Amino acid sequence: MTDFHVYDTTLRDGAQQEGLNLSVADKLAIAAYLDELGVGFIEGGWPGANPKDTEFFARARTELHLQNATLAAFGSTRRAHAVAADDPQVRALLDAQTDVVTLVAKSHSRHVTEALHTTLDENLAMVSDTVSFLVREGRSVFLDAEHFFDGYRTDPAYALEVVRIAAEAGASVIALCDTNGGMLPPQVTDVVGDVLTCTQARLGIHCHNDTGCAVANSLAAVQAGADHVQGTINGYGERTGNADLVTVVSNLQLKLGQQVVAPERLGRALHLSHAISEVTNVVPYGRQPYVGASAFAHKAGLHASALKVDPDLYQHTDPALVGNSMRTLVSDMAGRASIELKAKELGYDLTHDPQLAARTVKRVKELEQQGWTFDAADASFELLLREEVTGEPLSYFDAESWRVIMDSTGGSEPSLSEATVKLSAAGKRTVATGEGNGPVNALDHALRQALADAYPELAAFELIDFRVRILDASHGTDATTRVLIETSDENGSWQTLGVAPNIVHASWVALVDSFTYGLLKRGVEPRK
């Protein structure tokens, strides 16, 4: 208990995020990922408060095999005017059979009298009785001092007394909670320093992100002397979320030189962050520090020129340290350096062919003027680049024609769409018809059906995202449309786009590129 603590509360506090609902199986899977990341403590939930958390702890004893982390059960101090040993909720914490128990206690005097409806002295007795009882039962006890920073501003003497009482009763750590998330780093620094001076207790920090400062506040507390930091993966949590542990740990380790997890574990941060996103069904935030898809993405031509000389000139750290990588975005801002860097990422060396690079830059800029945006569709850009390099577009089939028909009864029932595709592939002409719940869905079905015999590999492709952007909106329904499609298989996902006068035509272009790129990446040669 002497080393720096990284304490994760994704399974309890993070699960309070709007729209996030975790099953017991989800929580077990996330706990395994958190252990792989190297956090020291995983707060599993509140046993006794709901059946799901009680079941989690029961199953964790046989199904969860932690190599690095210690599981913690969360609960509150005993009820007012009761005895901790007889309180069912406290007993449920013991029944969870975890080595660590984290208690939440009121440290704001107004919360004690107005929310807890008891006296200030009785709240102190609740803290002391519960902590000392659990310590006697062989548990290490952490105490979350709820609303501490707001309480310290209102009544500093009482807030400090809660910390003193908890420490005297045997609490290993007292985490100061910015429950409302309203603090700023200088305030956190001052308060943590004051508490350390007055109590000598071991302090932790628990921050919410309502001012956008949860990570900064956590770092300020650590630099002021706290050596236990709480947070959630990807910043999950109610309202604006909790401190993002991925960012906190990365900053502590890469910026402040404080090794809190093994470097090889930090090197898996991106993979584990995204793996947990899959379990929670929350789309990864592209601009998340360190592990976001855009965290090390460069768009401006001036940046690209410098990056060719030395990546460190425009990157604050090596992205590989967190499992990420540098990306060059191709757009109308691109110059020759951007194209050369992006081509190198994709396995093409254009440095010895300035005419090819110039020709590619010109074509990209012309297409961007028409509404194409390759910085969001790497797959479409790679197909364009390959065409410039080889001198001809990659084609797995020859499309003769396609059409879409929609039927509607005019009522509330959903309309049925039907698409017909005529094409030649692998030396055979095929006419296929597909039905769907919309014109694009029907077109997707028809195209897959038409190519099924020639390219059975398409069965592994799944369309996972479909976005539409109306360009030149002043033209109303006559405006140009841009469609972005994301497709995945067992090896990953890729983005393609299409731009056309209408949504169906743009979708066809994006679909064809999607299938073409997917087959290319699987090493499939066109079957003539």
pLDDT at 474 over 80: no
The whole-number average pLDDT for the span 76-105 is: 95
Q: Which amino acid is at 514?
A: S
- Under DSSP, the state recorded for 397 is -
Residue 332 is predicted with a pLDDT of: 46
Cα separation, 528 vs 525, in Å, equals: 9
Task: Tell me the CB-side half-sphere exposure of residue 402, using CA atoms within 13 A.
Answer: 29
SS3 34: helix
CA distances from 258 to 9, 166, 261, 290 (A): 21, 28, 9, 17
Burial 34-44 (b: 16+ CB within 10 A, else e): bbbbbbbbbbb
Segment holding 294, helix H or strand E = none
- Residue identified by tokens 């380790």 is 253
Per the prediction, the chain carries an average pLDDT of 87
Cα-trace Rg, the chain? 29
What tens digit of pLDDT does each residue of 422-466 get? 999 999 999 999 998 888 889 999 999 999 999 999 999 988 888
Cα separation, 20 vs 77, in Å, equals: 27
CA nearest to 139, candidates 1, 247, 236: 1
Q: Are 291 and 268 in contact (CB under 8 A)?
A: no
Q: Are 160 and 149 in contact (CB under 8 A)?
A: no
- The burial of 78, by beta-carbon neighbours within 10 Å (0-12 exposed, 13-18 middle, 19 or more buried), is given as buried
Confidence grade of residue 191 (pLDDT, cut at 50, 70, 90): very high
Cα separation, 502 vs 250, in Å, equals: 45
DSSP for 329-380 reads --STT--HHHHHHHHHHTT---TT-HHHHHHHHHHHHHHHHTT--GGG-HHH
SS3 172: coil
Q: Where are the alpha helices (DSSP H) in 239-335?
A: 245-250, 263-266, 269-280, 301-309
Share above pLDDT 90 across residues of the chain, in percent, rounded to a whole number = 60
pLDDT at 348 over 90: no
The number of angstroms, rounded, from the C-alpha of 34 to the middle of its chain's C-alpha atoms is 13
Cα separation, 345 vs 307, in Å, equals: 13
Q: Are 260 and 228 in contact (CB under 8 A)?
A: no
- Residue identified by tokens 């199953």 is 59
Q: What is the pTM of this model?
A: 0.71
Q: Which domains does the chain have, with CATH numbers?
A: 5-280 (3.20.20.70), 297-370 (no CATH), 398-521 (3.30.160.270)
Phi/psi for 388 (5° steps) reads: -65, -35
What tens digit of pLDDT does each residue of 7-23 get? 999 999 999 998 888 99
SS3 395: coil
User: According to the 3-state scheme, what is the secondary structure of 205-225?
Assistant: EEEECCCCCHHHHHHHHHHHC
What tens digit of pLDDT does each residue of 229-266 get? 999 999 999 999 999 999 999 999 999 998 899 999 99
The whole-number average pLDDT for the span 347-358 is: 76
Reported residue count of the chain is: 528
Lowest mean pLDDT among 16-20, 276-280, 368-372, 389-393: 368-372
What tens digit of pLDDT does each residue of 85-94 get? 999 999 999 9
- The burial of 391, by beta-carbon neighbours within 10 Å (0-12 exposed, 13-18 middle, 19 or more buried), is given as exposed
Residue 389 is predicted with a pLDDT of: 84
